[in-house]
Amino acid sequence: MLSLLILIVIAAFGLILVIPALRQPLLTAPILKGFRRSLPAMSDTEKAALEAGTVWWEADLFRGAPDWKKLQAIARPSLTQEEQSFVDNEVEEACRMVNEWKINFEDHDMPQAVWDYIKQKGFLGMIIPKSYGGKGFSAYAHSQVVAKLSTRSSPLAISVMVPNSLGPAELLLHYGTEAQKDHYLPRLARGEEIPAFALTSPWAGSDAASIPDYGIVCKQMWQGKETLGMRVTWNKRYITLAPVCTILGLAFRLYDPDGLLGKTKDLGITCALVPHDHPGVQIGRRHIPMNTYFMNGPTQGDDVFMPLDFIIGGPAMAGQGWRMLMECLSAGRAISLPSANAGLSQLAARVAGGYARIRNQFKTPISRFEGIEEALARVAGNTYMNEAVRTLSAAAIDLGQRPSVVSAIAKYHVTERARQVVTDSMDVLGGKGICLGPSNIMGLAYQQMPIGITVEGANILTRSLILFGQGAIRCHPFLLAEMQAAQDPDRAKGLQSFDAAFWGHIRYTLGNGLRSVFHGLSGAKFAGPGASVSVEMRGYARQINRLSTAYAFLADISMLMLGGSLKRKEKLSARLGDILALMFLASCVIKRYEMEGRIREDADLARWCIEDCLNKIHTALDGVFNNFPNALLGRVLKGLLFPWGLPGKSPSDQLGHRIAQLLSNPGEARNRLTPICFIHDSEHDPVGVIEHALAAVIAAEPIDAKIRAAEKQGVFKNEPLANSRDISGLAAQRGVISQEELTVIKRRDELRDRVIHVDDFPFEIHAKASGQHADGSDAESRLRAA
């Protein structure tokens, strides 16, 4: 009888589950009611941010089912003949024209000839279509240009990067009226207009949606007639190109208290274009970001009247500014800072690797010391990874994606790994790196690193709030649909939509849970990606598949347990975001290795990168399980998903040794690692001389071996000149080496001395350091006079 009763209950429950007319009122409706209560309040700006952009490969990783065939089917990005010519000629010439030391410590600006050159050659109009006189370059070409310029000069790269990122040109292309496009885009393409975009205010930095800058819709006399317009008040800071801009993009909140545009009083964030010489616009003062003298400064305006036609897209787009910004943000963020920092990584790798082979201590190149090797291995691996992420992110844009999550991953991780590359390079350079001067390349780069970390979404915020917070909602196949259904004002329609999404969610979670347990027990033996991935990378792809499935289940359980409070659990959210991002980075590395032809010399670089990612995933998973709000559930999940322990050992010392040596040995492997790096051909250039000296050092090594052998035999015993500086001359006198060989040694010494030279200055340099000239004038008065 009891068995029959149990069967009847199970059958009844089964009928309720399969019949929507029963399931929705009896099960789904109560669940929806609880879901609505747990859902945190969400503003229109938050909704716009969450719904902006598209999802791509990161969604496969989030959902536990990466389709490696889809990733491998993406063609290797390439440049058109025109784009390649631009990189090889115009970009090279721009790099030759600048001197980073003079810009930042003498002139405090790029030379006027450089400004003229980048305007005339179309650098500022790379994203503007040819129909408007622009270059119409691909995202990959845009990325190549920014990356290469960044290997030479930050002010140059930033001055080109910003007009081609989120700003007036991008917004006009997508939302401008035809009249606005026809007027501004050709002028921007020709460099006749210098754009800036002002969003950040002193009271709203990372929380840009809360900007206090405002406009009031009103009528006022304008150019001799009464005009419907707005009085705008703003106070912005950190605005790149603002001191020299001719057209200022401006974001502010627009209000219509008198109902001149309709019934809505608070129209929302609005974007307008304002000429720099418009009455009331204040620009010209400058910030000094970490002693890097690109044009950056504040702008203000107090009750400035401007016609509604100044709104990008005209009056119809009043209040649509936040949506416009969010929809355009991902493309610029996926290119600008990842490209600049990938380029900077390549410069640091080239410099540190060459310097370590050139610099001798204890009669040995320091590149052979294991401590230096450890730093060089990180430099090489992170440089390889940054280029992989940069390339794939640009490819996504060219495929038509607007990858909001990928752009956040790329921005955060490329800048953080570039920071590690620069720090390690500084450690390799030692005393050479800490004394600023014309011959010190890395000291300036080290100073500048916090800029990329901070702008376009501070890295702390990006990691703790965006990577998982936005990633979970956008990448999850059902969560966004559930949220939208819960907020649908049509309750009946919302219930139907929620019913479909919720029960799909249940099936999805159970499926991932079962597969996760199976892969955990079987050691992921059946999680392989198939033949779409090379033999060298197949084992790594299998581990990523296994981690992806476990992650999908873990993310769902975390969201179920914490609900809306997950938004406030920033440390847990950050670790979950780390796991998703690191899986993406590792897959970028696999894709780079595959699409570049599976070159065996590069396999060690790919292995180091992937093993580093897997090791960091291990750390992040450990942090999630150990800090799970329900400690018992955390331990149970760890045991279920990883019964044999967490995977992910750190790269071995031998692997690190092999990739470190790639940096210090001239050859194709070193060139492939730094493919976009600008190398000046002059031996009097601080980077060029390293290349010349490296070749000279290698040419002299067999001769050095002769001298060391003679020294061991006692040939130079008790000789005062038998020191590291003078022993070669003594060896020539004793016939140990020939005069021709001595010439090779002297040439090596000349170049090596130039490489290890540390700049010094007259005592009066303190006057310049304090902003004072010898005549007593300060920097501000000179700027005003100029």
Distances, alpha carbon 716 to alpha carbons 480, 721, 734, 736, 749, in Å: 79, 8, 9, 10, 20
Mean pLDDT of the chain: 90
Q: Which of 338, 279, 599, 590 is nearest to 457 (CA)?
A: 338
Given a contact cutoff of 8 angstroms between Cβ atoms, the answer to whether 594 and 73 are in contact is no
Q: What does the alpha-carbon distance between residue 332 and residue 168 come to, in Å, rounded to a whole number? A: 12
Q: Which of 302, 294, 324 is nearest to 311 (CA)?
A: 324
Strand partners, 301: 234
Q: Both tokens of residue 481?
A: 């649909």
Q: What does the alpha-carbon distance between residue 628 and residue 190 come to, in Å, rounded to a whole number? A: 56
Q: What does the alpha-carbon distance between residue 459 and residue 200 come to, in Å, rounded to a whole number? A: 16
- Which 3 state secondary structure label does DSSP give 361? strand
Lowest mean pLDDT among 9-23, 161-175, 754-768: 9-23
Q: Both tokens of residue 237?
A: 């800071």
Given a contact cutoff of 8 angstroms between Cβ atoms, the answer to whether 216 and 229 are in contact is no
Q: What does the alpha-carbon distance between residue 278 and residue 234 come to, in Å, rounded to a whole number? A: 14
The whole model's pTM is what? 0.92
Whether residue 140 has pLDDT greater than 50 = yes
Q: What does the alpha-carbon distance between residue 440 and residue 423 come to, in Å, rounded to a whole number? A: 14
Given a contact cutoff of 8 angstroms between Cβ atoms, the answer to whether 498 and 485 are in contact is yes
**Is beta strand 360-361 parallel, antiparallel or unpaired with respect to 364-365?**
antiparallel
Chain centroid to CA 279: 38
Whether residue 154 has pLDDT greater than 70 = yes
Strand partners, 778: 772
| Confidence label for 695 from pLDDT (cuts 50, 70 and 90) | very high
Given a contact cutoff of 8 angstroms between Cβ atoms, the answer to whether 542 and 529 are in contact is yes
pLDDT digits (tens, 9 = 90+) for 52-106: 778 899 999 999 989 999 999 999 999 999 999 999 999 999 999 999 999 999 9
pLDDT digits (tens, 9 = 90+) for 458-517: 899 889 988 888 888 889 998 888 888 888 888 888 888 988 998 899 999 999 999 999
| Confidence label for 242 from pLDDT (cuts 50, 70 and 90) | very high
Q: Both tokens of residue 597?
A: 């032809």
**Residue of higher predicted confidence among 614 and 18:** 614
Catalogue the long-range contacts made by 779-783 (C-beta closer than 8 Å, 24 or more residues apart): 779/108, 783/108, 783/286
Please report the DSSP string for 562-626 in residue order: HGGGGGT-HHHHHHHHHHHHHHHHHHHHHHHHHHTT--HHHHHHHHHHHHHHHHHHHHHHHHHHH
The DSSP 8-state label assigned to residue 259 in this structure reads -
Q: Please give the torsion angle defined by the CA atoms of residues 715, 720, 726 and 727, in that order, rounded to the nearest 10 degrees.
A: 10
Helix (H) or strand (E) holding 221: strand 214-222
| Res 769: pLDDT | 47
| Res 45: pLDDT | 64
pLDDT digits (tens, 9 = 90+) for 508-558: 999 999 999 999 999 888 888 888 899 999 999 999 999 999 999 999 999
Q: What does the alpha-carbon distance between residue 430 and residue 435 come to, in Å, rounded to a whole number? A: 10
| Confidence label for 19 from pLDDT (cuts 50, 70 and 90) | confident
Mean per-residue pLDDT, 622-626: 95
Q: Which of 524, 513, 519 is nearest to 556 (CA)?
A: 513
Whether residue 683 has pLDDT greater than 60 = yes
Given a contact cutoff of 8 angstroms between Cβ atoms, the answer to whether 340 and 147 are in contact is yes
Helix (H) or strand (E) holding 741: helix 739-756
Given a contact cutoff of 8 angstroms between Cβ atoms, the answer to whether 456 and 394 are in contact is no
Phi-psi region of 628 (alpha: psi -120 to 50; beta: other; left: phi over 0): beta
Q: What does the alpha-carbon distance between residue 340 and residue 580 come to, in Å, rounded to a whole number? A: 23
Q: What does the alpha-carbon distance between residue 781 and residue 119 come to, in Å, rounded to a whole number? A: 28
Q: What does the alpha-carbon distance between residue 478 and residue 48 come to, in Å, rounded to a whole number? A: 18
Q: Which of 456, 482, 691, 711 is catalytic?
A: 456
Q: What does the alpha-carbon distance between residue 139 and residue 395 come to, in Å, rounded to a whole number? A: 7
- Backbone torsions φ then ψ of 460, nearest 5 degrees: -60, -45
Whether residue 7 has pLDDT greater than 90 = no
Cβ-based neighbours of 646, under 8 Å, separated by 6 or more: 618, 621, 622, 638
456 part of the active site? yes
| Confidence label for 10 from pLDDT (cuts 50, 70 and 90) | low
